Amino acid sequence: MSPRPDALARLAAHTAERAKAGLRRRLRAFDHMDGPWLERDGRTLLSFCGNDYLGLAQHPQLIAALKRTADDEGVGSGSAHLIAGHRAEHAALEEALAEWTGRERALLFSTGYMANLGVMQALLAEGDVCVQDKLNHACLLDGAKLSGAELKRYPHADVEGAARQLQSRPGACALLATDGVFSMDGDVAPLRELSALCAREGATFMVDDAHGLGVLGPEGAGSVAAAELSQHDVPVLMATLGKALGCFGAFVAGRASLIEGLVQSARTFVYTTAMPPAMAAATLAAVRVAREDAWRRDKLQSLIRRFRDGAGQLGLPLMPSDTAIQPLLIGDANHAVMAAEALESVGFLVGAIRPPTVPQGKARLRITLSAMHEDDQVDALLEALSGLPWATEV
Protein backbone atom coordinates (compact mmCIF):
# COMPACT_ATOMS: atom_id res chain seq x y z
CA MET A 1 0.00 0.00 0.00
CA SER A 2 1.37 3.40 -0.86
CA PRO A 3 1.68 5.82 2.06
CA ARG A 4 -1.11 8.35 2.62
CA PRO A 5 -0.62 11.77 1.12
CA ASP A 6 0.20 14.27 3.85
CA ALA A 7 -2.38 17.09 4.01
CA LEU A 8 0.04 19.65 5.44
CA ALA A 9 2.71 18.86 2.85
CA ARG A 10 0.13 19.11 0.07
CA LEU A 11 -1.00 22.51 1.32
CA ALA A 12 2.60 23.70 1.50
CA ALA A 13 3.18 22.55 -2.09
CA HIS A 14 0.06 24.37 -3.24
CA THR A 15 1.21 27.53 -1.47
CA ALA A 16 4.63 27.28 -3.09
CA GLU A 17 2.99 26.87 -6.50
CA ARG A 18 0.91 30.00 -6.01
CA ALA A 19 4.02 31.94 -5.02
CA LYS A 20 5.89 30.67 -8.07
CA ALA A 21 3.03 31.79 -10.30
CA GLY A 22 3.27 35.25 -8.74
CA LEU A 23 -0.13 34.78 -7.08
CA ARG A 24 0.90 34.78 -3.44
CA ARG A 25 -1.54 36.68 -1.23
CA ARG A 26 0.06 38.77 1.48
CA LEU A 27 -1.47 39.48 4.87
CA ARG A 28 -0.23 42.81 6.18
CA ALA A 29 -1.43 44.79 9.18
CA PHE A 30 -2.22 48.48 9.11
CA ASP A 31 -1.51 50.47 12.24
CA HIS A 32 -4.31 53.01 11.98
CA MET A 33 -7.31 54.09 9.93
CA ASP A 34 -8.61 57.64 9.70
CA GLY A 35 -11.37 58.02 7.12
CA PRO A 36 -9.85 57.11 3.75
CA TRP A 37 -6.32 57.29 5.21
CA LEU A 38 -4.50 54.13 6.25
CA GLU A 39 -1.20 54.05 8.08
CA ARG A 40 1.43 51.34 7.84
CA ASP A 41 5.10 51.37 8.83
CA GLY A 42 5.00 55.11 9.40
CA ARG A 43 3.56 55.81 5.91
CA THR A 44 0.11 57.25 5.34
CA LEU A 45 -1.72 55.98 2.26
CA LEU A 46 -4.92 57.20 0.65
CA SER A 47 -7.16 54.17 0.29
CA PHE A 48 -9.28 53.47 -2.75
CA CYS A 49 -9.86 49.83 -1.90
CA GLY A 50 -12.36 49.71 0.97
CA ASN A 51 -16.06 48.93 0.93
CA ASP A 52 -17.09 51.65 3.40
CA TYR A 53 -18.98 53.37 0.58
CA LEU A 54 -20.87 55.87 2.72
CA GLY A 55 -18.05 56.56 5.16
CA LEU A 56 -19.94 55.20 8.18
CA ALA A 57 -17.31 52.95 9.78
CA GLN A 58 -16.05 55.80 11.98
CA HIS A 59 -19.29 57.77 12.28
CA PRO A 60 -19.66 59.23 15.81
CA GLN A 61 -23.27 58.05 16.17
CA LEU A 62 -22.27 54.46 15.41
CA ILE A 63 -19.34 54.62 17.81
CA ALA A 64 -21.55 56.12 20.53
CA ALA A 65 -24.18 53.38 20.10
CA LEU A 66 -21.48 50.70 20.25
CA LYS A 67 -19.95 52.17 23.43
CA ARG A 68 -23.28 52.76 25.14
CA THR A 69 -24.47 49.22 24.53
CA ALA A 70 -21.11 47.70 25.48
CA ASP A 71 -21.24 49.65 28.77
CA ASP A 72 -24.67 48.16 29.52
CA GLU A 73 -24.43 44.71 27.95
CA GLY A 74 -20.74 43.90 27.69
CA VAL A 75 -18.95 42.58 24.62
CA GLY A 76 -19.90 39.06 23.63
CA SER A 77 -23.50 37.87 23.22
CA GLY A 78 -22.62 34.75 25.19
CA SER A 79 -24.54 32.23 23.12
CA ALA A 80 -26.37 31.39 19.94
CA HIS A 81 -29.52 33.31 18.95
CA LEU A 82 -31.77 30.37 19.78
CA ILE A 83 -30.35 29.90 23.26
CA ALA A 84 -29.91 33.29 24.98
CA GLY A 85 -27.84 35.32 22.50
CA HIS A 86 -30.77 37.08 20.85
CA ARG A 87 -31.31 40.46 22.52
CA ALA A 88 -33.50 43.49 22.11
CA GLU A 89 -30.73 45.09 19.99
CA HIS A 90 -30.83 42.24 17.46
CA ALA A 91 -34.62 42.29 17.30
CA ALA A 92 -34.68 46.07 16.77
CA LEU A 93 -32.07 45.83 14.01
CA GLU A 94 -33.94 43.02 12.24
CA GLU A 95 -37.12 45.05 12.32
CA ALA A 96 -35.35 48.12 10.91
CA LEU A 97 -33.72 46.09 8.12
CA ALA A 98 -37.05 44.50 7.14
CA GLU A 99 -38.75 47.89 7.08
CA TRP A 100 -35.93 49.50 5.05
CA THR A 101 -35.91 46.77 2.40
CA GLY A 102 -39.71 46.45 2.29
CA ARG A 103 -39.77 42.87 3.54
CA GLU A 104 -41.91 41.21 6.21
CA ARG A 105 -39.01 39.99 8.28
CA ALA A 106 -35.22 39.90 8.41
CA LEU A 107 -32.80 37.52 10.11
CA LEU A 108 -29.25 38.39 11.18
CA PHE A 109 -26.26 36.24 10.33
CA SER A 110 -22.71 36.66 11.63
CA THR A 111 -21.25 37.24 8.16
CA GLY A 112 -22.44 37.42 4.57
CA TYR A 113 -20.49 34.29 3.81
CA MET A 114 -22.44 32.41 6.46
CA ALA A 115 -25.76 33.89 5.36
CA ASN A 116 -25.33 32.60 1.83
CA LEU A 117 -24.19 29.17 2.98
CA GLY A 118 -27.12 28.97 5.39
CA VAL A 119 -29.78 30.07 2.94
CA MET A 120 -28.72 27.68 0.22
CA GLN A 121 -28.29 24.74 2.55
CA ALA A 122 -31.78 25.42 3.97
CA LEU A 123 -33.52 25.90 0.62
CA LEU A 124 -31.79 23.32 -1.56
CA ALA A 125 -31.05 19.62 -1.49
CA GLU A 126 -29.59 16.93 -3.68
CA GLY A 127 -31.48 16.65 -6.96
CA ASP A 128 -32.22 20.38 -7.06
CA VAL A 129 -30.56 22.87 -9.36
CA CYS A 130 -28.90 26.16 -8.42
CA VAL A 131 -28.41 28.53 -11.34
CA GLN A 132 -25.86 31.30 -10.90
CA ASP A 133 -24.06 34.07 -12.74
CA LYS A 134 -20.45 33.06 -13.51
CA LEU A 135 -19.19 36.13 -11.67
CA ASN A 136 -21.17 35.61 -8.47
CA HIS A 137 -19.33 35.99 -5.19
CA ALA A 138 -17.37 32.94 -4.00
CA CYS A 139 -19.72 32.28 -1.07
CA LEU A 140 -22.76 31.90 -3.34
CA LEU A 141 -20.88 29.29 -5.32
CA ASP A 142 -19.73 27.58 -2.13
CA GLY A 143 -23.27 27.69 -0.77
CA ALA A 144 -24.59 25.83 -3.79
CA LYS A 145 -21.89 23.18 -3.45
CA LEU A 146 -22.62 22.73 0.25
CA SER A 147 -26.35 22.37 -0.44
CA GLY A 148 -25.81 19.30 -2.62
CA ALA A 149 -27.78 20.84 -5.49
CA GLU A 150 -26.37 20.80 -9.00
CA LEU A 151 -24.61 24.12 -9.66
CA LYS A 152 -25.15 25.47 -13.18
CA ARG A 153 -23.52 28.75 -14.12
CA TYR A 154 -24.39 31.11 -16.94
CA PRO A 155 -22.27 33.72 -18.74
CA HIS A 156 -22.14 37.02 -16.91
CA ALA A 157 -25.49 38.88 -16.91
CA ASP A 158 -26.78 36.62 -19.72
CA VAL A 159 -30.51 36.16 -19.12
CA GLU A 160 -30.87 33.82 -22.11
CA GLY A 161 -28.03 31.74 -20.72
CA ALA A 162 -29.76 31.62 -17.36
CA ALA A 163 -32.97 30.50 -19.08
CA ARG A 164 -31.15 27.69 -20.87
CA GLN A 165 -29.63 26.47 -17.60
CA LEU A 166 -33.04 26.44 -15.91
CA GLN A 167 -34.66 24.69 -18.86
CA SER A 168 -31.95 22.01 -18.89
CA ARG A 169 -33.47 20.75 -15.63
CA PRO A 170 -37.24 21.00 -16.08
CA GLY A 171 -39.13 19.70 -13.10
CA ALA A 172 -36.25 20.22 -10.68
CA CYS A 173 -36.65 22.52 -7.71
CA ALA A 174 -34.60 25.58 -8.74
CA LEU A 175 -32.97 28.59 -7.11
CA LEU A 176 -31.47 31.33 -9.28
CA ALA A 177 -28.96 33.47 -7.39
CA THR A 178 -27.12 36.59 -8.47
CA ASP A 179 -25.05 39.38 -6.99
CA GLY A 180 -27.09 42.60 -7.19
CA VAL A 181 -23.93 44.65 -7.79
CA PHE A 182 -21.03 42.47 -8.90
CA SER A 183 -18.25 42.74 -6.35
CA MET A 184 -15.28 42.75 -8.75
CA ASP A 185 -16.96 44.42 -11.75
CA GLY A 186 -19.31 46.95 -10.21
CA ASP A 187 -22.09 46.46 -12.74
CA VAL A 188 -25.68 45.76 -11.73
CA ALA A 189 -27.36 42.44 -12.60
CA PRO A 190 -30.36 42.49 -14.99
CA LEU A 191 -32.63 42.06 -11.99
CA ARG A 192 -35.98 42.75 -13.63
CA GLU A 193 -35.32 40.31 -16.47
CA LEU A 194 -34.03 37.63 -14.12
CA SER A 195 -37.05 38.09 -11.88
CA ALA A 196 -39.41 37.68 -14.83
CA LEU A 197 -37.48 34.59 -15.93
CA CYS A 198 -37.80 33.04 -12.47
CA ALA A 199 -41.54 33.76 -12.44
CA ARG A 200 -41.92 32.07 -15.85
CA GLU A 201 -39.82 29.07 -14.87
CA GLY A 202 -41.15 28.62 -11.35
CA ALA A 203 -37.69 29.16 -9.88
CA THR A 204 -36.95 30.96 -6.61
CA PHE A 205 -35.01 34.19 -7.11
CA MET A 206 -32.26 35.22 -4.69
CA VAL A 207 -30.25 38.45 -4.78
CA ASP A 208 -27.05 39.11 -2.82
CA ASP A 209 -26.99 42.89 -2.45
CA ALA A 210 -23.75 43.23 -0.49
CA HIS A 211 -22.61 46.17 -2.64
CA GLY A 212 -25.99 47.71 -3.42
CA LEU A 213 -27.50 48.20 0.03
CA GLY A 214 -26.92 51.75 1.25
CA VAL A 215 -25.65 52.88 -2.14
CA LEU A 216 -28.47 52.33 -4.64
CA GLY A 217 -32.22 52.84 -4.60
CA PRO A 218 -34.53 55.16 -2.69
CA GLU A 219 -33.08 55.85 0.78
CA GLY A 220 -30.30 53.45 -0.14
CA ALA A 221 -32.61 50.44 0.07
CA GLY A 222 -30.45 48.68 -2.53
CA SER A 223 -30.34 47.41 -6.09
CA VAL A 224 -33.56 45.45 -5.70
CA ALA A 225 -35.44 48.55 -4.54
CA ALA A 226 -33.82 50.55 -7.35
CA ALA A 227 -35.24 48.01 -9.82
CA GLU A 228 -38.63 48.38 -8.09
CA LEU A 229 -38.80 44.69 -7.29
CA SER A 230 -40.98 43.60 -4.39
CA GLN A 231 -40.70 40.74 -1.93
CA HIS A 232 -42.88 38.81 -4.35
CA ASP A 233 -40.40 39.39 -7.23
CA VAL A 234 -37.27 38.71 -5.14
CA PRO A 235 -38.37 36.40 -2.34
CA VAL A 236 -34.83 35.90 -1.00
CA LEU A 237 -32.85 39.08 -0.38
CA MET A 238 -29.49 38.91 1.32
CA ALA A 239 -27.20 41.84 2.11
CA THR A 240 -24.19 42.53 4.30
CA LEU A 241 -23.66 45.03 7.10
CA GLY A 242 -19.88 45.32 6.74
CA LYS A 243 -19.80 47.34 3.55
CA ALA A 244 -21.84 50.53 3.04
CA LEU A 245 -23.16 50.27 6.61
CA GLY A 246 -19.63 50.29 7.98
CA CYS A 247 -20.34 47.58 10.58
CA PHE A 248 -20.19 43.78 10.51
CA GLY A 249 -22.48 40.87 9.75
CA ALA A 250 -25.32 40.25 7.31
CA PHE A 251 -29.01 39.54 7.03
CA VAL A 252 -31.58 37.75 4.92
CA ALA A 253 -34.96 39.39 4.37
CA GLY A 254 -38.22 38.07 2.95
CA ARG A 255 -41.57 36.65 3.90
CA ALA A 256 -42.14 35.61 7.51
CA SER A 257 -42.35 32.00 6.33
CA LEU A 258 -38.87 32.17 4.76
CA ILE A 259 -37.37 33.64 7.92
CA GLU A 260 -39.12 31.11 10.14
CA GLY A 261 -37.77 28.35 7.90
CA LEU A 262 -34.23 29.71 8.19
CA VAL A 263 -34.53 29.88 11.99
CA GLN A 264 -35.38 26.17 11.93
CA SER A 265 -33.00 24.97 9.24
CA ALA A 266 -30.11 27.30 8.39
CA ARG A 267 -27.18 25.64 10.12
CA THR A 268 -24.96 28.74 9.96
CA PHE A 269 -27.67 30.54 11.95
CA VAL A 270 -28.51 27.79 14.44
CA TYR A 271 -25.04 26.61 15.36
CA THR A 272 -23.15 29.84 15.87
CA THR A 273 -22.74 32.61 18.42
CA ALA A 274 -24.98 35.65 17.98
CA MET A 275 -23.31 38.89 16.91
CA PRO A 276 -22.37 41.13 19.86
CA PRO A 277 -25.42 43.22 20.87
CA ALA A 278 -23.28 46.37 20.79
CA MET A 279 -22.55 45.66 17.12
CA ALA A 280 -26.28 45.32 16.47
CA ALA A 281 -26.90 48.65 18.19
CA ALA A 282 -24.18 50.33 16.11
CA THR A 283 -25.68 48.83 12.96
CA LEU A 284 -29.12 50.14 13.84
CA ALA A 285 -27.57 53.62 14.10
CA ALA A 286 -25.93 52.98 10.71
CA VAL A 287 -29.27 52.10 9.11
CA ARG A 288 -30.74 55.40 10.34
CA VAL A 289 -27.80 57.46 9.08
CA ALA A 290 -27.69 55.59 5.76
CA ARG A 291 -31.39 56.23 5.14
CA GLU A 292 -31.35 59.88 6.22
CA ASP A 293 -28.06 61.11 4.77
CA ALA A 294 -29.00 61.27 1.09
CA TRP A 295 -26.05 63.64 0.67
CA ARG A 296 -23.68 60.70 1.15
CA ARG A 297 -25.15 58.91 -1.86
CA ASP A 298 -25.21 62.14 -3.87
CA LYS A 299 -21.59 62.86 -3.05
CA LEU A 300 -20.59 59.30 -3.92
CA GLN A 301 -22.40 59.57 -7.27
CA SER A 302 -20.63 62.83 -8.02
CA LEU A 303 -17.23 61.27 -7.19
CA ILE A 304 -18.07 58.29 -9.42
CA ARG A 305 -18.89 60.63 -12.32
CA ARG A 306 -15.73 62.65 -11.71
CA PHE A 307 -13.60 59.50 -11.71
CA ARG A 308 -15.22 58.07 -14.85
CA ASP A 309 -15.02 61.36 -16.76
CA GLY A 310 -11.37 61.81 -15.82
CA ALA A 311 -10.43 58.20 -16.53
CA GLY A 312 -12.27 58.36 -19.86
CA GLN A 313 -10.31 61.44 -20.89
CA LEU A 314 -7.08 59.67 -19.99
CA GLY A 315 -8.10 56.63 -22.02
CA LEU A 316 -7.91 54.32 -19.01
CA PRO A 317 -9.50 50.86 -19.39
CA LEU A 318 -12.73 51.56 -17.52
CA MET A 319 -15.34 48.86 -17.13
CA PRO A 320 -19.08 49.44 -17.58
CA SER A 321 -19.94 50.31 -13.98
CA ASP A 322 -21.91 53.19 -12.49
CA THR A 323 -21.42 52.09 -8.91
CA ALA A 324 -18.75 52.75 -6.29
CA ILE A 325 -16.73 49.83 -7.69
CA GLN A 326 -14.67 51.16 -10.61
CA PRO A 327 -12.24 48.50 -11.85
CA LEU A 328 -9.55 49.20 -14.43
CA LEU A 329 -8.99 46.10 -16.52
CA ILE A 330 -5.32 45.22 -16.92
CA GLY A 331 -5.35 41.57 -17.96
CA ASP A 332 -2.03 40.17 -16.82
CA ALA A 333 -1.83 39.37 -13.09
CA ASN A 334 1.77 40.54 -12.71
CA HIS A 335 1.03 43.81 -14.44
CA ALA A 336 -1.87 44.39 -12.09
CA VAL A 337 0.39 43.84 -9.09
CA MET A 338 3.06 46.12 -10.54
CA ALA A 339 0.49 48.86 -11.15
CA ALA A 340 -0.79 48.59 -7.57
CA GLU A 341 2.78 48.73 -6.25
CA ALA A 342 3.56 51.77 -8.37
CA LEU A 343 0.46 53.49 -6.98
CA GLU A 344 1.43 52.59 -3.43
CA SER A 345 4.88 54.08 -3.96
CA VAL A 346 3.19 57.43 -4.61
CA GLY A 347 0.75 57.08 -1.71
CA PHE A 348 -2.37 55.34 -3.04
CA LEU A 349 -3.78 52.04 -1.91
CA VAL A 350 -5.66 50.17 -4.64
CA GLY A 351 -6.46 46.46 -4.76
CA ALA A 352 -4.83 44.29 -7.43
CA ILE A 353 -7.38 41.55 -8.09
CA ARG A 354 -6.04 38.40 -9.70
CA PRO A 355 -7.24 34.91 -10.60
CA PRO A 356 -8.89 32.93 -9.15
CA THR A 357 -10.89 35.85 -7.71
CA VAL A 358 -11.44 37.01 -11.31
CA PRO A 359 -11.17 34.93 -14.53
CA GLN A 360 -7.77 34.22 -16.12
CA GLY A 361 -6.53 37.18 -18.13
CA LYS A 362 -8.94 39.54 -16.38
CA ALA A 363 -6.71 40.84 -13.59
CA ARG A 364 -7.53 44.38 -12.64
CA LEU A 365 -7.13 47.27 -10.29
CA ARG A 366 -10.25 47.38 -8.16
CA ILE A 367 -10.76 51.04 -7.35
CA THR A 368 -13.56 51.82 -4.93
CA LEU A 369 -14.92 55.24 -4.10
CA SER A 370 -16.54 56.41 -0.90
CA ALA A 371 -18.50 59.43 0.24
CA MET A 372 -15.54 60.23 2.49
CA HIS A 373 -13.31 60.94 -0.53
CA GLU A 374 -12.97 64.49 -1.85
CA ASP A 375 -12.80 65.76 -5.42
CA ASP A 376 -9.11 66.64 -5.18
CA GLN A 377 -8.31 63.14 -3.91
CA VAL A 378 -9.98 61.60 -6.95
CA ASP A 379 -8.06 64.04 -9.16
CA ALA A 380 -4.81 63.05 -7.45
CA LEU A 381 -5.56 59.36 -8.03
CA LEU A 382 -6.28 60.05 -11.72
CA GLU A 383 -3.00 61.94 -11.97
CA ALA A 384 -1.15 58.97 -10.46
CA LEU A 385 -2.96 56.55 -12.79
CA SER A 386 -2.03 58.63 -15.82
CA GLY A 387 1.62 58.22 -14.86
CA LEU A 388 1.51 54.42 -15.06
CA PRO A 389 3.13 52.94 -18.16
CA TRP A 390 0.26 50.55 -18.92
CA ALA A 391 -2.22 53.39 -18.78
CA THR A 392 -0.59 55.44 -21.52
CA GLU A 393 -0.28 52.42 -23.80
CA VAL A 394 -4.01 51.68 -23.77
Ligand X SMILES: *Cc1c(COP(=O)(O)O)cnc(C)c1O
Query: Which residue in the list 81, 243, 299, 373 is annotated as catalytic?
Result: 243
User: Does the annotation list 156 as a binding residue?
Assistant: no
Burial bucket for residue 90 (CB in 10 Å: 0-12, 13-18, 19+): buried
Rama region for 157: left / alpha / beta (φ>0; ψ in -120 to 50; rest) = left
In the complex with ligand X, which residue's Cβ is closer, 35 or 242?
Answer: 242
Q: Closest CB to ligand X among 69 and 132?
A: 132
Q: How far is the CB of 217 from ligand X (least distance, A)?
A: 16
Catalytic residue (choose from 81, 86, 211, 299)? 211
47, 77, 183, 195: the catalytic one is 183
Distance in Å, CB of 169 to ligand X, minimum: 25
Q: What are phi and psi of 328, to 5 degrees?
A: -115, 120
| CB-nearer residue toward ligand X: 183 or 195 | 183
Establish whether 211 is a catalytic residue.
yes
Query: How far is residue 318's CA from residue 328's CA, in Å, rounded to a whole number?
Result: 5
Closest CA to 280 of 105, 87, 111, 106: 87
Residues that bind ligand X (CB under 6 A): 111-113, 137, 139, 179, 183, 208, 210-211, 240, 242, 250
Residue 183 labelled as part of a binding site:
yes
Check if 362 is active-site. Answer: no
Q: Is 308 annotated as a binding residue?
A: no
Q: Considering beta carbons, is residue 137 or 354 the nearer one to ligand X?
A: 137
Minimum distance, C-beta of residue 279 to ligand X, in the bound complex (Å): 12
Distance (Å, rounded) from C-alpha 352 to C-alpha 366?
6
112 marked as part of a ligand binding site? yes
Q: Which is nearer to ligand X, 201 or 208 (CB)?
A: 208
Spatial distance between the Cα atoms of 143 and 231, rounded to a whole number of angstroms: 22
Active site residue 223: no
Q: In angstroms, rounded to a whole number, what is the distance separating the alpha carbons of residues 87 and 342?
A: 48
Radius of gyration (Cα) for the chain, nearest Å? 21
Among 341, 46, 373, 325, CA closest to 187? 325
Helices of type H across the chain = 7-20, 60-73, 88-101, 112-123, 138-147, 159-167, 191-201, 223-226, 256-265, 267-270, 277-292, 294-314, 333-345, 375-386, 389-393
CB of 137 to ligand X, least distance (A): 3
Q: Is 321 annotated as a binding residue?
A: no
Return the residue nearest ligand X (CB atom).
112
Min CB(97)–ligand X separation in Å: 14
Is 113 one of the annotated binding-site residues? yes
Q: Which residues are catalytic?
A: 183, 211, 243
Q: Which residues are annotated as a binding site for pyridoxal 5'-phosphate?
A: 112-113, 183, 211, 240
* Feature table: binding site for substrate: 25, 137, 357
